């Protein structure tokens, strides 16, 4: 049954797209919301000098600012009112999700159904406001101190007035993006927050491609190297598509049930376990933790010298954590692997899954229900997580090596590439679902009309 539905979805006639009025409205709404997001990225914070800001930003390349600037579509570089993007909302969502798995109180709220989900969403919104306020305050203070040693200031009139205005503007911008993402999810196509992040990443892709081909025109890059970069990017995209759809299907057997004809028939099903259960969370966490010390040093506006033991230590740490450095690459890989296992253990509970199977009479052939089933699922999940962690490590380290160590201008990093490919696949799947539902609706209408005529 599932394979027949998959074949029907894959063989959809795109000519039916013109007749799917509801789908077209959703697509236009999504496009309009993303255009508003791009326009908001050019609205600057009050009291910021754009020219001094652009000069100072060039001195902090390579820190976590570049990492978050990619997700915000250049909004952080311009210090717009949506400079923080939806990252505080994502962080708050992850914190609430982790707390739900660790706290019995929040776990009980989650089991309340729709009302519990609404309460958890409200907690996430409160957390988003709090995180945005804290990050906005530190950004305002950092902007005032930024460039002090160079005799420059990105703020026209430093002080509490600027700090309060900056915090309020950033909170308003982030909450607006959160609301816009929820509107896209409910009235558009795809996950709104994910589409906003992808739009920010993709918005800088045309300029990167223009620079790439300009290098080929001026002779700074050979045509063979350009073709190699394009081929590598296509190969990584194909590899990501394959791995993101890869599953380990665990056979589930249900007891025999009597049908209307008196026959005893056993039901079989599959429990799909994704190879990459953690998604893009491990690279985001690992990158943020590694790049934070370097950014704090660069963003503090203080000149670090090697005349003291502290200065020598800070210089040594920042040098070791530069992009492409062996220590950075090793810690980056270790962080990805750690967060893969940690986040997978949080989002998938083998004991709860085993209890649900036992409650509905399902069992894995050859495995006793209960604790043995939970142990088996944990064993299978651990083995496939090893493959998923290795896959994420390769995807993230290959572009990192090309960008930093080999000096090849590979624009999309591993995390950005994962987000773009995943969001695109999910959006295309939802579009196919809408087209499939439209075709089923037409078939039902035709069947009703024929039935009415037969009478």
Strand runs labelled E in 137-245: none
C-alpha distances (whole Å) from 216 to each of 220, 231, 251, 361, 404 are 6, 16, 53, 64, 20
- Average pLDDT rounded to a whole number, residues 252-279: 75
Choose the CATH number for 21-204 among 1.10.3720.10, 1.10.287.70, 3.60.15.10, 1.10.3370.10.
1.10.3370.10
pLDDT tens digits along 105-119 = 888 888 887 888 889
359: three-class secondary structure by DSSP? helix
Give me the phi and psi of 273, to 5 degrees please: -115, 115
pLDDT band at 32 (very low <50, low <70, confident <90, very high): very high
Rg (CA), the chain: 26
- Is residue 84 within 8 A of residue 174, CB to CB? The reply is yes
pLDDT of 16:
64
Q: Report whether pLDDT(334) > 70.
A: yes
- Average pLDDT rounded to a whole number, residues 251-255: 83
pTM: 0.78
pLDDT of 342:
87
Q: Report whether pLDDT(254) > 70.
A: yes
């Amino acid at each position: 049954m599932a394979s027949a539905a998959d074949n029907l979805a894959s063989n959809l006639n795109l000519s039916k797209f013109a007749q799917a009025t509801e789908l077209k409205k959703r697509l236009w709404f999504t496009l309009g919301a993303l255009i508003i997001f791009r326009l908001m990225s050019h609205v600057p914070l009050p009291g910021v000098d754009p020219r001094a800001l652009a000069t100072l930003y060039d001195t902090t390349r390579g820190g976590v600012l570049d990492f978050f600037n990619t997700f915000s579509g250049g909004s952080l570089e311009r210090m717009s009112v949506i400079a923080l993007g939806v990252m505080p909302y994502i962080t708050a969502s992850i914190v609430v999700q982790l707390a739900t798995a660790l706290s019995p109180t929040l776990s009980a709220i989650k089991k309340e159904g729709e009302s519990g989900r609404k309460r958890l969403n409200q907690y996430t919104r409160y957390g988003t406001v709090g995180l945005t306020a804290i990050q906005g305050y530190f950004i305002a203070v950092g902007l005032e101190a930024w460039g002090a040693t160079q005799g420059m200031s990105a703020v026209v009139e430093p002080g509490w007035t600027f700090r309060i205005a900056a915090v309020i503007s950033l909170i308003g911008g982030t909450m607006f993006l959160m609301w816009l993402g929820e509107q896209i999810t409910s009235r558009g196509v795809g996950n709104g927050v994910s589409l906003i992040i992808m739009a920010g990443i993709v918005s800088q892709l045309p300029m990167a491609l223009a620079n790439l081909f300009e290098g080929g025109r001026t002779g700074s890059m050979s045509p063979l190297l350009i073709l190699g970069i394009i081929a590598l990017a296509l190969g990584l995209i194909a590899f990501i598509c394959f791995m993101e759809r890869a599953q380990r299907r665990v056979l589930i057997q249900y007891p025999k049930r009597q049908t209307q004809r008196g026959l005893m028939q056993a039901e079989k099903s599959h429990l799909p376990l994704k190879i990459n259960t953690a998604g893009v969370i491990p690279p985001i966490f690992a990158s943020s933790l590694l790049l934070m010390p370097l950014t704090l040093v660069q963003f503090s506006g203080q000149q670090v010298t090697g005349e003291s033991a502290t200065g020598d230590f800070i210089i040594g740490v920042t040098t070791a954590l530069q992009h492409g450095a062996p220590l950075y690459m090793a810690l980056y890989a270790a962080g990805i692997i750690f967060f893969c296992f940690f986040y997978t253990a949080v989002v998938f509970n083998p004991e709860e899954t085993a209890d649900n199977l036992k409650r509905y009479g399902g069992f894995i052939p050859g495995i006793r229900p209960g604790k043995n089933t939970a142990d088996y699922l944990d064993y299978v999940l651990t083995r496939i997580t090893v493959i998923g962690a290795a896959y994420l490590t390769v995807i993230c380290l290959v572009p990192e090596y090309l960008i930093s160590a080999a000096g090849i201008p590979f624009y999309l990093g591993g995390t950005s590439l994962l987000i773009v490919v995943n969001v695109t696949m999910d959006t295309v799947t939802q579009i196919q679902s809408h087209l499939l539902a439209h075709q089923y609706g037409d078939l039902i209408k035709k069947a009703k009309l024929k039935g009415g005529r037969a009478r």
